[in-house]
Amino acid sequence: MSRFFSLFVAFVASFLLIGSAQADVKVLTSIKPLQLIAAAVQDGVAVPEVLLPPGASPHHYALRPSDVRKVQSVDLLYWIGPDMEGFLPRVLNGRTLPSVAVQDLPGLTLRHFAEDSASHEDHDDGGDEHDHDHRPGTVDAHLWLSPHNARVIAARMAADLSAADPANAARYQSNLKGFNQRLDALDARLKTRLAGIAGKPYFVFHEAFDYFEDNYGLKHAGVFAVAAEVQPGAQHVAAMRTRLQAVGKTCVFSEPPLRPRLAETLVAGLPVKLAELDALGGYTPATAQGYEQLLEKLGNDLAGCLESL
């Protein structure tokens, strides 16, 4: 009996050690949307980490020493690519473990900023500043807002995790299947939800939503791509107000956590509502359903404002 008990204890101990080793596959993503996709794939095994805190700009983030150590040490790292996280390539040069720039994955549908985009119109020189990361012809790196692209990214994550943690490979593949099935259901819900606002004009401060719009038959009427910390000149504000007056009742969407300072001036006295669209889902919990929650909230916030006019 004692020998049997000893064998049983040894078996349990070895099982726990194996499980602990499997849980040691550490995943880090640059931004919250990628963390949400990874969380769906890793559900029940581990929770991925994210580099940028809520509200941080993926274009201009300043890495802390602890961030650099984390980037160097995690087993798998996923980022969008140099068209989004311009601060990362230099740090990744010293990394020896796998790093995946998801914008390079085969099978993605990529968009490019248009030559005639409203965010690249000529403005006066009265202190205006454009988002120069969105130069015409460059890759639109907000690619996670396409459900199709999310599927491609999730499939790559599931393959990488299965190779790094074979004991849980079946779980990763099952999670991937469940993620795709939930996206099918979400896609149907959003198409129904957004069908009623197709053709309604609205404006955004940041050209971040083209992937989402393209998937659901929507299109913004204009982009007021002015840096939040820069006060534009009077001529610029007047030109934007003229466009809003021509449209009439509409919504102007900024992105949290900051509303551009010109927003209130821009819409004063006009039948225009100010609202927010969160492309990054900064405070969305990293759960198996987090990515779907990000997209569904985006659709509900967009439709909710336009339906209230």
Looking at the chain, the whole-number percentage of residues with pLDDT higher than 90 is: 71
Residue 307's alpha-carbon distances to 145, 195, 196, 200, in angstroms, are: 22, 11, 8, 9
- Mean pLDDT for the chain overall: 86
Return the pLDDT at 299.
98
Question: In 77-168, which residue ranges form alpha helices assigned H by DSSP?
Answer: 89-92, 147-164
Cα(76)–Cα(95) distance, rounded to whole angstroms? Answer: 11
Specify the higher pLDDT residue, 291 or 18.
291
HEC profile for 110-133?
A: CEECCCCCHHHCCCCCCCCCCCHH
Return the pLDDT at 26.
97
Residue 122, pLDDT > 50, answer: no
Q: What is the pLDDT of residues 48-94, one digit of tens each?
A: 999 999 999 898 899 999 999 999 999 999 999 999 999 999 999 98
Confidence of residue 265 (pLDDT cuts 50, 70, 90): confident
For the question of whether the overall pTM of this predicted structure is more than 0.85, the answer is: yes
Closest CA to 270 of 242, 296, 234, 307: 242
Residue 281's alpha-carbon distances to 55, 83, 114, 208, in angstroms, are: 9, 19, 25, 13
Q: What is the pLDDT of residues 153-202, one digit of tens each?
A: 999 999 999 999 999 999 999 999 999 999 999 999 999 999 999 999 99
Return the pLDDT at 2.
53
Return the pLDDT at 273.
97
Confidence of residue 225 (pLDDT cuts 50, 70, 90): low
Q: What is the pLDDT of residues 278-299, one digit of tens each?
A: 999 999 999 999 999 999 999 9
Closest CA to 47 of 57, 58, 36, 56: 36
Confidence of residue 259 (pLDDT cuts 50, 70, 90): confident
Quote the distance between the C-alpha of residue 191 and its chain's center: 20
Cα(294)–Cα(292) distance, rounded to whole angstroms? Answer: 5
